[in-house]
Structure 1
């Protein structure tokens, strides 16, 4: 790459940042970072009726959580209306755009007539100026749209970064509306002006935009602007085999943060949804940047696999710094009304339990027992907290009350109680787990108890 690389992500704030857009943002960011270029964030908010500030805030929060730092932006299209209008005026003067006064009723009638005749539906060019053509009289009270005067002949061809060479004949596309009656530009026009002005060299986006690309290339050419390279990545399919999108079945990026996923795990998983580097399943952000040069992108749709994402997250949980996990778990506990005054106490707890957890929510499920009352299941209570165990519990409680409160001291108290009552470790350890932890399975019982406040353990044993 000789020219400075500039990529962008341009979500519309009509809902949350969904996973498909997050993946495209990741590819665009990684490509720019790989080649030492710039990554730009643009908010495409020209859909005034559906755009919201809440959506903008969620998009920015998602980008921040994922660590996809941008070099420029965010830019907002509604703040660039003067620029769009100036370009429209230039195109009208040059004859590459024209005003169309068709009413919605006329357009509906046009399409119905085309359907009745078995023709492809589309704008019939009635307001398109041609040499010797007499245009209809301008109707009163009708605000015009502005249409792009698309070339009537020839092909549009580009070498897609993902799909390879693509050719679409100009007869397959009609004269696109580029400005609405209220003066707001449409997507296919604004995106061209933005990419031109912002010097975007490479555009990665979902392959639902393939049909938009011929219009955009023709507008670039009409403006005499340099063409970016386009790469259209396949869609992500949900469990039902249908496209995952924010209008159907998708979950927001921030929801995964709330549900206890780590951003590095999400980036790792998203990167592998449509791209690969040999057989590598787990890799760092730095490795992704080193490897991602725009090649090895799949041409086939990717299948979202919640179980695989959970597995990837579990691997990152195991590797995570315990102090960092403690902060994340403290946030999860606060959502449950448990406020841990000193987060440092969570650090050894996270170290002990993280190998059993796939999310920080699961980790919080474990650690809640240290700060809130536990309720064993009726089945565990009936099976393990029997009258027969009470004498051993009483003896153990007495020994624990005098023991050094650490793993070794607790272990010795357990061994002495086992010897006194001629029990095997499971016969005592499992009831202790049920009484103190509320569940029958935990890591080593002495290690688990050592992290409790001694008073809490005594109270729970004595309450059986």
Structure 2
């Protein structure tokens, strides 16, 4: 049974790189009919916050990446970590080290002066025939893992292929601080062991942690998961992803008007491919994602492509669902959607092809609900579109709209009134349609004017047509 996990640290928000890692781990488990575990690694007490934890949970929920198990919190598992450390001390796979901070700094300085790689020199490591110094008074020891001195540690990475480290290059890392708090690399190992994780999918900034974790697992007699390390995500300029590139909270994408399905589709293609497929559902992604075809090179974040995808998902979205999302945005902007006004679902259906985000769609919807001051129409538009025969044509059109039977207040009925007015006035469509758009909606371009007017209450349309600048 495949068991994957996503294990963020709540020291900040869930950003786009972490979201992609979560997505790949979630999809791999779903593809194999396995289990996806969410674990919150909150042992960094000074930097972890409840707000960051909630932001992670909110982001996962918004993306639809619900875990099968969890969330589990490391701070609630301290007794388990201490139990394992105590056992390791008894078995000799871990030992106490009384080095002071000053001794470690001096050790590092000496090694650097000799051109050596700075590392712990094993002075408190017990060995056959070795006499250890007496523990100094007043110094609380740390606990170090007794890393193998010989051989190497290798694995076949799911993304990068074969990777190997010499054990001689790995010093005896600290697994418990002097206050007894276990460290990240140790907690991760115990968690993966206890939670029966079979596949660890994470960012390639963890590659150097992997041989240490594998050696601890082996010392514990625990099974070793398979590892896959995902390359980083860069900005469009090839530099490390920053806030200006999109390294913001996942929930900021919600605030900015992106649909979760569009973000999931975009993240899926960010470093993975299935032939030439660009647009696909999350169900298709789960069916296709077997861990193959993940790029070994960093991927580049492209906002233009994300917006293009979001436009596609907007166009495919249910109008009633869009209306709920847009209503909240209109409310935040102080724009009322009255019960006797245009149906917001119909409005969204008319305008969604012209918007790339929900925020843009809400901005476009303002023209239906906001108050329009005819005096705010630009002078250039007045001169070009509201002069000459426009006023008489609009008045004739308004009279025909007023005379329509109630059942004829439809796009077809309004289109017929338009044609009759054009014929009577001897005008072409733009000579009437553009003045109508300016007076009713405040803009010169909209979707089909008959469909736009049909979405409006007749009284609203006639009131707006009756108002002229100055």
Tell me which interval the TM-score lies in, with the shorter structure as reference length.
over 0.9
Query: What is the alpha-carbon distance in structure 2 between the residues aligned to residue 249 and residue 123 of structure 1?
Result: 39
Q: 1:390 corresponds to which residue?
A: 391
Pick which of 242-251 and 105-114 moved more. 242-251
Query: What is the alpha-carbon distance in structure 2 between the residues aligned to residue 123 and residue 377 of structure 1?
Result: 74
Structural RMSD (CA) = 2.0
Equivalent residue runs for 1:129-140 within 5 Å: 129-140=126-137
> What per-residue deviation string (whole Å, max 9, x for no partner) do you get for residues 411-451 of structure 1?
23322332333221112211221222122111111111111
Task: Name which of 367, 370, 373 aligns with 1:369.
Answer: 367
Query: What is the alpha-carbon distance in structure 2 between the residues aligned to residue 361 and residue 442 of structure 1?
Result: 17
Aligned-residue offset at 1:213: 0.3
Aligned 8 A contact 2:434 2:444 in 1: yes
Aligned 8 A contact 2:245 2:301 in 1: no
Asked if residue 5 in structure 1 is aligned to residue 9 in structure 2, the reply is: no
Asked if residue 112 in structure 1 is aligned to residue 146 in structure 2, the reply is: no
Q: 1:289 corresponds to which residue?
A: 286
Q: 2:91 corresponds to which residue?
A: 94
> What per-residue deviation string (whole Å, max 9, x for no partner) do you get for residues 235-271 of structure 1?
1111231232679960211111122211111111111
Q: 1:265 corresponds to which residue?
A: 262
Q: 2:211 corresponds to which residue?
A: 214
Aligned 8 A contact 1:18 1:246 in 2: no
Aligned 8 A contact 2:235 2:245 in 1: no
Aligned 8 A contact 1:380 1:439 in 2: no
Does the residue aligned with 1:50 lie in a helix, a strand or coil? Answer: coil
Asked if residue 46 in structure 1 is aligned to residue 50 in structure 2, the reply is: no
Q: 1:194 corresponds to which residue?
A: 191
Pick which of 433-442 and 197-206 moved more. 433-442
Residue 377 and residue 298 in structure 1: after superposition, are their counterparts in 2 closer, same or farther (change >3 A)?
Answer: farther
Aligned-residue offset at 1:344: 8.9
Aligned 8 A contact 1:384 1:434 in 2: no
Equivalent residue runs for 1:321-360 within 5 Å: 321-340=318-337, 342=339, 345-360=343-358
Query: What is the alpha-carbon distance in structure 2 between the residues aligned to residue 69 and residue 367 of structure 1?
Result: 33
Aligned-residue offset at 1:369: 1.5
Pick which of 83-92 and 403-412 moved more. 403-412
Q: 1:21 corresponds to which residue?
A: 18
Aligned 8 A contact 1:380 1:434 in 2: no
Pick which of 20-29 and 96-105 moved more. 96-105
Aligned-residue offset at 1:396: 2.8
Aligned 8 A contact 2:437 2:449 in 1: yes
Residue 162 and residue 418 in structure 1: after superposition, are their counterparts in 2 closer, same or farther (change >3 A)?
Answer: same
Aligned-residue offset at 1:187: 1.1
Query: What is the alpha-carbon distance in structure 1 between the residues aligned to residue 380 and residue 281 of structure 2?
Result: 42
Query: What is the alpha-carbon distance in structure 1 between the residues aligned to residue 44 and residue 254 of structure 2?
Result: 28
Q: 1:59 corresponds to which residue?
A: 56
Q: 1:427 corresponds to which residue?
A: 431
Does the residue aligned with 1:276 lie in a helix, a strand or coil? Answer: coil
Aligned 8 A contact 2:342 2:457 in 1: no
Q: Which runs of 5+ in 2 are unaligned?
A: none
Query: What is the alpha-carbon distance in structure 2 between the residues aligned to residue 246 and residue 194 of structure 1?
Result: 32
Query: What is the alpha-carbon distance in structure 2 between the residues aligned to residue 148 and residue 233 of structure 1?
Result: 27
Pick which of 67-76 and 250-259 moved more. 250-259
Normalising by structure 2, report the TM-score: 0.93
Asked if residue 378 in structure 1 is aligned to residue 406 in structure 2, the reply is: no
Does the residue aligned with 1:40 lie in a helix, a strand or coil? Answer: strand
Query: What is the alpha-carbon distance in structure 2 between the residues aligned to residue 299 and residue 396 of structure 1?
Result: 64
Q: 1:443 corresponds to which residue?
A: 447
Does the residue aligned with 1:167 lie in a helix, a strand or coil? Answer: strand
Equivalent residue runs for 1:123-202 within 5 Å: 123-202=120-199
Query: What is the alpha-carbon distance in structure 1 between the residues aligned to residue 428 and residue 356 of structure 2?
Result: 32
Task: Name which of 402, 414, 420 aligns with 1:416.
Answer: 420
Does the residue aligned with 1:158 lie in a helix, a strand or coil? Answer: strand
Does the residue aligned with 1:75 lie in a helix, a strand or coil? Answer: strand
Aligned-residue offset at 1:305: 0.9
Query: What is the alpha-carbon distance in structure 1 between the residues aligned to residue 377 and residue 184 of structure 2?
Result: 57
Residue 341 and residue 48 in structure 1: after superposition, are their counterparts in 2 closer, same or farther (change >3 A)?
Answer: farther
Q: 2:230 corresponds to which residue?
A: 233
Does the residue aligned with 2:331 lie in a helix, a strand or coil? Answer: helix
Query: What is the alpha-carbon distance in structure 2 between the residues aligned to residue 241 and residue 252 of structure 1?
Result: 21
Query: What is the alpha-carbon distance in structure 2 between the residues aligned to residue 13 and residue 395 of structure 1?
Result: 65
Pick which of 30-39 and 115-124 moved more. 115-124
Residue 177 and residue 350 in structure 1: after superposition, are their counterparts in 2 closer, same or farther (change >3 A)?
Answer: same
> What per-residue deviation string (whole Å, max 9, x for no partner) do you get for residues 348-368 of structure 1?
222222222222212111112
Pick which of 156-165 and 335-344 moved more. 335-344
